[in-house]
Amino acid sequence: MTHDPLTETTFAERAREQLAKPFLRTAVPRATDHAANDLRARFADHDYEGLRARGADIRSATIADLQTHLDRLVAAFAANGVQVHMAADAAQARAHIRRICRDAGARRVVKVKSMATEEIELNPALIADGLTVTETDLGEYVVQLDNDRPSHIIAPIIHKTREEVRQSLSRVAGRELPDDASELTGFARETLRDAFMDADVGISGANFGVAESGTVVLVTNEGNGRMSTSMPRVHISLMGIERVLPRLDDLAVMLPLLTGAGTGQLITTYVTMISGPRGTNEPDGPEQMHVVLLDNGRRALLGTEYQDVLHCIRCGACQNVCPVYRQVGGHAYGWVYGGPIGAVLTPLFRGQQDGGELPQASSLCGACDDICPVKIPLHDLLLRLRRQRVDEGAAPFKERLVASVWAWAWSSAWRYRIVSGVASRLMQIGWVSRVLARRGPLAGWALGRSVPMPARRPFHRRRSDD
Ligand code: SF4
């Protein structure tokens, strides 16, 4: 594994580092609000809630019978001439892709943005094999140039200023490029075009895999998805096993949900549906098509209290509305997925020891539940993960001590009355606010807030006094 912020630093340390970047705290809310506003405007004349309900039903029924749909998908791929490879974990997935590249005698690879390839840390493995790897999504391309990490599922460089992007592209150009968005994208387009022309292998993810027809569906706003999957001799699609859909008809529901929640669009510029390699009489397309079906911890969630997280279609909407993500951005979460979905997936995929603190990074306001296009109860999942962390003894000593004292104090009526009476008195004379503001971990929080004043006669005394 390469540099791993999740194990090398704490959430608090990473968040502090991100909070020191003033641009991040304005850019992330601005960009994410844009998507949310577009969603409301574009779907104003549509029964969006009805669509959500249907989407939630489709995902729930599919995941409940995942193996059946996967078997159909694999059979349909095989019938279309697609070579299917099962990967139990990241290492197996990398090994399959490396072998396919080796067998193809590949030297150059182009990639479409894919969180699954980030999850298995594919690029370093391919580069170690001597391959030239080029990310072709503009945002991912800049991430690659800067040796950075994506910070949002849909918008990988949401954390970067235009000036930073200009500097990165200028380094490649060997000259100072102008501060003009169309000039910058024009330069990237020209540079990437050569990469498409020269590539031996194109690697993509899969937004969906349709079992009925054996079709990989890619949703993009740049033409790079089509170029990467049709120009090189070999196309490899890495698909999480949960991304299967039973029928083509399901796309009529799932596509607008994905594009609406993700970018506020009724439909993206490109929806690419690939059902196999080039046919005998077809003039273009890859000679070989491979699909690597990635488990990497997904199957283990079936039948557990976390199964619902497999309904996720990676739209990123929960990140857009999360008050924590909007302040600290995606890098604070330390792994591939940030925001509420990251706070759920990371401990499930990486274990409580590595990702157990992330579910604490939530105000539990429920905004993520309200926006999720497939109605995943993220808020409940976060609470379950918090409980599991305590049950497994993975919570830090200080946290367990405070919780134990709290439980002791409030588990009998007389202890509760004494403690709440003393606390109430201290709050009324302003002692609590003064202490909080002066020192301790809540000092920053208390600076901008006033502690609420408790009632002089608490509720539990009213009945006994009346
Ligand atoms: S949990 Fe829901 S809102 Fe978040 S990325 Fe997944 S589908 Fe989108």
Q: How far apart are CA 311 and CA 372, in angstroms?
A: 10
| Residue from 313, 337, 380 to probe ligand 1 pocket by mutation (most atoms less than 8 Å from CB) | 313
Q: Is the CB of 372 under 6 A from ligand 1?
A: yes
Q: How far is CA 192 from the centre of its chain?
A: 26
pLDDT at 466 over 70: no
More confident of the two residues 454 and 296: 296
CA-to-CA distance for 114 and 292, rounded, in angstroms? 13
User: What are the tokens at 185?
Assistant: 């994208």
Answer yes or no: are the C-beta atoms of 374 and 52 closer than 8 Å. Answer: yes
Q: Which atom of ligand 1 is nearest to the CA of 378?
A: 1
- Is the C-beta atom of 376 inside 6 A of ligand 1? yes
Measured CA distances, 325 to 186, 248, 259, 387 (Å): 31, 34, 20, 22
Q: Is the pLDDT of residue 432 over 80?
A: no
**Amino acid letter, residue 4:** D
Q: Which amino acid residue places its CA nearest to atom 3 of ligand 1?
A: 372
Pick the CATH number of 69-299 from 3.40.50.720, 3.40.50.10420, 3.90.1150.10, 3.40.50.150: 3.40.50.10420
Q: What is the predicted pLDDT for the residue at 435?
A: 75
Helix (H, G, I), strand (E, B) or coil at 232: coil
Please report where in the chains the tokens 């529901």 appear, as a residue.
253
- Mean pLDDT value across residues 461-465: 66
Nearest protein CA to atom 2 of ligand 1, as residue: 372
Taking the C-alpha atoms of residue 117 and residue 435, their distance in angstroms, rounded to an integer, is 48
Q: For ligand 1, atom 7, name the residue with the nearest CA.
A: 312
| Alpha carbon 50 to its chain's center | 25
Cα 298 to chain center, whole Å?
Answer: 15
Residue 218 has φ and ψ, to the nearest 5°, of -120, 135
- Give the pTM: 0.91
Probe ligand 1: pick from 308, 312, 333, max atoms within 8 Å of CB?
Answer: 312
Q: How far apart are CA 401 and CA 439, in angstroms?
A: 20
CB of 315 closer than 6 angstroms to any ligand 1 atom? yes
Residue 163: Cβ within 10 Å count: 10
Strands (E), 63-183: 83-87, 108-111, 132-135
Residue with tokens 């608090």: 12
Q: What 3-state DSSP class applies to 308?
A: helix
- Report the separation in Å between the CA atom of 346 and the middle of ligand 1, taken as the mean of its atom positions: 14
Q: Is the CB of 374 under 6 A from ligand 1?
A: yes
Residues in the chain: 466
Going by alpha carbons, the residue nearest to atom 4 of ligand 1 is 318
Tokens encoding 402: 């405070």
- Residue 343 confidence (pLDDT): 98
Rg (CA), the chain: 25
**pLDDT at position 222 over 80:** yes
User: Is 321 near ligand 1, meaning CB less than 6 Å away?
Assistant: no
| Residue 286 near residue 234, CB atoms below 8 Å | yes
Say whether 162 sits in a helix, a strand or coil.
helix
User: CB of 381 closer than 6 A to ligand 1?
Assistant: no
Q: How far is the CA of 372 from the centre of ligand 1 (A)?
A: 5
Task: Find out whether the beta carbon of 253 lies less than 6 Å from any atom of ligand 1.
Answer: no
> Cβ(152) to ligand 1 under 6 A?
no
Query: Which atom of ligand 1 sits closest to the CA of residue 368?
Result: 3
Quick check: 448 pLDDT over 80?
no
Task: Kindly state the average pLDDT of the residues 54-58.
Answer: 98
DSSP 158-220: TT--HHHHHHHHHHHHTS---S-HHHHHHHHHHHHHHHHHH-SEEEE--SEEETTTTEEEEEE
Cβ neighbour number for residue 369 with a 10 Å cutoff: 19
**Helix-helix angle 251-263:22-42, to 10 degrees:** 140
| pLDDT confidence of residue 430 | 77
Residue 120 Cβ contacting ligand 1 at under 6 Å: no
Helix (H) or strand (E) holding 258: helix 251-263
- Do residues 240 and 207 make contact, with C-beta atoms less than 8 angstroms apart? no
What is the distance in A from the centroid of ligand 1 to the CA of 162?
27
Task: Tell me the C-alpha distance between 398 and 112, whole Å.
Answer: 45
Tell me, in angstroms, the distance from the centre of ligand 1 to residue 115's CA.
13
Q: Which of 314, 325, 336, 362 to mutate to test the pocket of ligand 1 (most atoms within 8 A of CB)?
A: 314
Q: For 274-288, write each residue's pLDDT tens digit.
A: 999 999 989 899 999
Where exactly does CATH 3.40.50.10420 map onto the chain? 69-299
415 Cα–ligand 1 center, Å: 43
pLDDT at 138 over 70: yes
Q: Could you say which DSSP state residue 121 is in?
A: T
Q: Are 340 and 325 in contact (CB under 8 A)?
A: yes
**CB atoms < 10 A from the CB of 450, how many?**
9
Residue 399's pLDDT is 85
pLDDT tens digit sequence for 223-238: 899 999 999 999 999 9
Three-class DSSP category at 443: helix
Q: How many CA within 13 A on the CB side of residue 107?
A: 3
Residue located nearest, by CA, to atom 8 of ligand 1 = 315
> pLDDT for 324-375, tens place per residue?
999 999 999 999 999 999 999 999 999 998 999 999 999 999 999 999 999 9
Of all protein residues, whose CA lies closest to atom 6 belonging to ligand 1? 312
